[in-house]
Amino acid sequence: MLGIPWKRHYRHGSGGGPASALPALLVMALLVSSTTTSWAIEPEELLVVANKRMAGSVDLARMYVGRRAIPQHNLLILSLPRAETISRTTFVDSIRLPVRRKIAGLRQNKEQRIEAILLMYGVPLKVRPPEPGEEDRGKIDSLRRRKSELAQNKQLDEATLKQQRRELDDQLSVLLKTNQHAAVDSELSLVRADDYDLEGWIPNPYFLGFQNIEKKHGKDHVMLVSRLDGPDVATVKRMISDTLETERKGLSGTAYIDARWPEPENTREYSAYRIYDASLHGAARYMEKRMKVVVEKTQELFAGDCCDRTALYCGWYSLGQYHDTFQWNKGAIGYHMASSECSTLKNQESNVWCLKILENGAAATIGPVYEPYIQGFPIPEIFFATLLEGYMSLGEAYLLSLPYVSWQMVLVGDPLYRPFRPLEEGAQ
């Protein structure tokens, strides 16, 4: 496949650092040739993981396995904490190692290769950084005392105080290893890798924009990981049923794109924010081949209850404040680009976008568990163009459009979901 040499993005500092132009022409070229190069996950290649300590998790897994005709031996039932956040040690011992053994066993005993993992309702969502050692804990206590003393210092001017606080925070961040927290899903995508750096993100070898860039971890190391999860059992059961029904009929309705600026003529000199915004406009053009599209081009978000019959949505930027403007059609897919929008899928008092999108009727969404920086999000133009073409599933479109793994992003939805049939078949 073709690819463009995206400049490397750095997570330190602003999320809007420089980046190369969006691959609009790349996507178009890929779509032309994808009928012969497409990669399709089959049900027998999917490992389903459930948590026997969470009520409803195993029943939902068995329901899904049955309705998708997945082999029963592809179901892995683990005993996991019910909390959404777990320690690095728990992740490794209770999730990563059992999943790794299961995949190896299936391949050896059944001559079957697992290509994707689906985490069911009740599997933890987030991984904390490794615990600091005794020496580091002493340094952390010392830095926190210095911060407390600094706050009480009345002799320093505001600029000096701000600079010194920033320096102390940076030192604390390194000692607390805050850049090593991650989504369980994204971390598990490297379950086949023997060893990898926990610091920050790792380029995804499946991402279309990195195809011509040398990567430490190749496609043999990276797996697609998604989850069927939500605020309660009823929501997840509805998501499964809606997905299967929509596949038979085709996804219909209106696509809504919430950009922040008019489409630029040239994105080569723009920040990552501008590039992602331009990508929303690019996604809208692909959506127009399937359905009516409404594009909002100002700093404001869609207001009121104007987004009726929503089939597809992508936009930004309302941090942790879902806008109840959407009437989600059955089988709808939508995601909002803002930090921590998938920080919880259980706390119904939260107003984060992923939780509310699912709670209000959509079948799938995407979001980060912590701060991903804008470059961590799937590229909207690639995600929707690949999905709308009709040859690839939701999970495959996600994997091809996702720049990084071992990071913050989560796909919530059935990875086998194909809401559209190929365009040349003349139907949705």
C-alpha 371/C-alpha 374 separation (Å) is 9
pLDDT tens profile 403-418: 999 999 999 999 999 9
Q: Is 122 left (phi over 0), alpha (psi -120 to 50) or beta?
A: left
Q: What is the pLDDT of residue 311?
A: 98
Paired tokens of 148: 């407390």
Phi, psi torsion values for 245, nearest 5 degrees: -65, -40
Buried b (16+ CB within 10 A) or exposed e, 140-158: eeebeebeeeeeeeeeeee
- Say how many C-beta atoms besides its own lie within 10 A of residue 85's C-beta: 16
Domain ranges of the chain: 24-40+224-425, 46-53+64-129+182-200, 134-176
248 vs 139, higher pLDDT: 248
Q: What is the pLDDT of residue 152?
A: 81
Indicate if the pLDDT at residue 130 is higher than 90.
no
What is the β-pairing status of strands 404-405 and 326-336? unpaired
pLDDT tens profile 71-106: 999 999 999 999 999 999 999 999 999 999 999 999
**Residue 238, exposed/middle/buried by CB under 10 A (0-12, 13-18, 19+)?**
middle
Q: What is the pLDDT of residue 223?
A: 95
Q: What is the pLDDT of residue 337?
A: 97
> What percent of the chain lies above the pLDDT cut of 70?
86
**Maximum average pLDDT range among 28-37, 128-137, 291-300:** 291-300
Q: What is the pLDDT of residue 213?
A: 72
C-alpha 348/C-alpha 309 separation (Å) is 24
Q: What is the pLDDT of residue 149?
A: 82
Least confident span in 10-14, 58-62, 238-242, 282-286: 10-14
What is the β-pairing status of strands 126-127 and 254-258? unpaired
**Residue 92, exposed/middle/buried by CB under 10 A (0-12, 13-18, 19+)?**
middle
Give residue 196's pLDDT band: very low, low, confident or very high (50, 70, 90).
Answer: confident
Question: Per-residue DSSP letters for 174-197?
Answer: HHHTGGG-EEHHHHHTTTT-S---
Mean pLDDT of 255-276: 83
Buried b (16+ CB within 10 A) or exposed e, 292-308: ebbbbeeeebbeeeebe
Indicate if the pLDDT at residue 191 is higher than 80.
yes
336 vs 427, higher pLDDT: 336
Q: What is the pLDDT of residue 11?
A: 28
Indicate if the pLDDT at residue 195 is higher than 90.
no
Indicate if the pLDDT at residue 324 is higher than 90.
yes
Question: Residue 338: CB partners within 8 Å, gap ≥ 6?
Answer: 316, 317, 318, 319, 320, 353
C-alpha 250/C-alpha 231 separation (Å) is 26
Indicate if the pLDDT at residue 51 is higher than 70.
yes
Cα three-residue angle 186-405-93, rounded to 5 degrees? 45
Paired tokens of 258: 């919430």
Give residue 426's pLDDT band: very low, low, confident or very high (50, 70, 90).
Answer: low
Q: What is the pLDDT of residue 414?
A: 98
Place of tokens 């190692």: 97
381 vs 1, higher pLDDT: 381
Q: What is the pLDDT of residue 266?
A: 67
**CB of 417 within 8 A of CB of 234?**
no
What integer best gives the mean pLDDT of the chain? 86
Q: What is the pLDDT of residue 37?
A: 43
Q: What is the pLDDT of residue 313?
A: 98
Q: Is the peptide bond before 206 cis (omega within 30 degrees of 0)?
A: no
Q: Which amino acid, residue 368?
A: P
Q: What is the pLDDT of residue 256?
A: 98
Place of tokens 């796909």: 411
What is the β-pairing status of strands 365-368 and 326-336? unpaired
pLDDT tens profile 348-359: 999 999 999 999
pTM listed for this prediction: 0.86
What is the β-pairing status of strands 182-183 and 126-127? antiparallel
**CB of 226 within 8 A of CB of 412?**
yes
Q: What is the pLDDT of residue 242?
A: 98
Could you tell me how many residues make up the chain? Answer: 428
pLDDT tens profile 205-263: 999 988 877 777 889 999 999 999 999 999 999 999 999 999 999 999 999 999 999 88
